Structure 1
Amino acid sequence: MTSTALIVGASRTLGLALAAEYLRLGWNVIGTVRGADRTELHDLADKSEGRLLVETVDITQPDQIAALRDRLGDRTIDLLFVNAGITRGNVPIADVATDTFAEVLITNALSPLRVIETLRPLVPANGTIGIMSSRQGSLSLNTNGGQDAYRASKSALNQLMRCYAARYADDSHTLLLVNPGWVQTDLGGPGAPLTIDESIPGVVATINAQAGKPGLQFLDYQGETVPW
């Protein structure tokens, strides 16, 4: 039976590349976009011979997450992976507007866990649940500072995922936080050392290599452990 991956946040860059890589490996893919506009994911779906389904969800809206759950019905999702991240600029924390800080935390930390809590019943006992994290979420690796709000949001994400893992300690799901590396995206900037094509195959290989291993790990795109 063909495995199915649900990539939440797949309209462009890293999420789009994840969807494409899983298609290349023979999986069926459900990819989500946030709005009604046509995206590159729709173009990929047109060429997928029916193996890529595009769904719409704004993960900052709980009612939309619930509606997605209803639309998915009794589908089996072998991999549930949430790709979400905004930065809103490299600003010292004292200068970050309150509503901006709230937006970053809601998008990067709270919303991914809401997605996982809502959709986890669709993931079988031997399935995988993962989120795109960042090296910048590591407390011990933060020796240079900068990107205060973004760092805080990814650290919060990691902490919330640890709470999730503890809450469902009896589950056998594989749980992953994945650092894709410093990649040339809108968020990473053009000076980043990795291209998407260099990062994402490694991300997918790392995810797939952990399949069937219960518990939570924080890994990078090369399969190496990232310190908390």
Structure 2
Amino acid sequence: MCARLSGSVLVTGSNRGIGLELVRQLCESPCPPTHIFAACRDPDGPNAKVLRDLALKHPQLVTTLCLDTTNQGTIAEAARLVGDQLKDGSLNLLINNAAINIPGSLADTGEKEMMEVFLTNTVGPMLVTKEFLPHLRTAASRPGAQSEMSCRRAAVVNVSTLFSSIQRCHETFLRAPMYPYRVSKAALNMLTRCLSEDLRADGILVMALHPGWVQTDMGGPQAPLSTEDSVKGMLNVISSLSDQHVGALLDWEGKSIPW
């Protein structure tokens, strides 16, 4: 697999699951990006050991960053470090992957659960995108940048879910109510559409991507899709993005999901 990514990539929530697999496959691609920034809440903690080992294996390619999407200070510091490390200050691809899930029916869900999940899954991607926007704009406008929007120019990919689809809620709700997760990801979809319109004139492509039901801590062992297969599909979709995908919600196979 060659995802045909170039330039610099930043992945949030990269210490486990889909985020870790994104970093791994980008590292092992026959045509990897020039640099990968692997961000998570505690890159020096026990839950990030596999990520640290990956970074040690690819020291010229991977830089780990402390970035808590609920902490503005860590987001700003991560953006500063990325700007210092990149020669021209340009970031080509931001993948907002970090997310949490607190399963809950209506009876089990209160303000605390809703706000905690909303802060990470919706507000977090907005704050991260806002802080890294100068680097994305630099990439989109640098001399020689292609005119068509793509991940090789400048793009933001928000990791969403089928459970965010209002139109298809009747198909999925009973087997997984998950009020906080569903509502926060539906709000992420609107954030994606707003950003896509706001940043279109800058040449920055913004879209949302559903990774499938994946065998992760969040998806559980009963999920039908491995992280390897999910991420392979995701990277193929990301590498093929163009103007026609601005503001889209796609799955890991490139199929459109209704809002």
Range of TM-score over shorter length: over 0.9
Whether the 8 Å CA contact 1:134–1:154 is kept in 2: the answer is yes
Q: What code does the residue aligned with 1:31 have?
A: A
Aligned-partner SS, 1:170: helix
For the pair 1:72 / 2:79, whether they are aligned, the reply is no
Q: 1:37 aligns with which of 45, 48, 62?
A: 45
Sequence identity (%): 30
What's 2:148 paired with? none
Offset of residue 85 of structure 1: 1.7
Q: Is the 8 A contact 2:159 2:208 kept in 1?
A: yes
1:162 corresponding residue in structure 2 = 193
Give the partner amino acid of 1:184: Q
What is the root-mean-square deviation in Å for CA atoms of aligned residues? 1.7
Deviates further, 36-45 or 197-206: 36-45
Q: TM-score, normalised by structure 2?
A: 0.83
Is there any run of 5+ residues in structure 1 with no aligned partner, and where? none
Segments ≥4 residues shifted beyond 4 Å: 211-214
Residues 203 and 222 in structure 1, CA contact (< 8 A), matched pair in contact too: yes
Deviations along 1:10-48, whole A, 9 cap, x unmatched? Answer: 011100000111112222211012013141111100111
What corresponds to 2:118 in structure 1? 105
| CA separation of 1:171 and 1:52: change in aligned 2, threshold 3 A | same
Question: CA shift at 1:70, angstroms?
Answer: 1.4
Q: Count residues with an aligned counterpart.
A: 227
List gaps (5 residues or longer) in structure 2: 141-152
TM-score (norm 1): 0.93
Structure 2 counterpart of 1:29, which letter?
I
Determine the C-alpha separation between the residues in 1 that align with 2:79 and 2:244.
25
The verdict on how the C-alpha distance between 1:50 and 1:61 changes in structure 2, with shifts beyond 3 A counting, is same
CA offsets per residue over residues 109-165 of structure 1, 9 Å max, x none?
111111011102212222111111101111111114211111001001101121222
Q: Distance in 2 between matches of 1:23 and 1:212?
A: 27
Task: Name the structure 1 match of 2:22.
Answer: 18
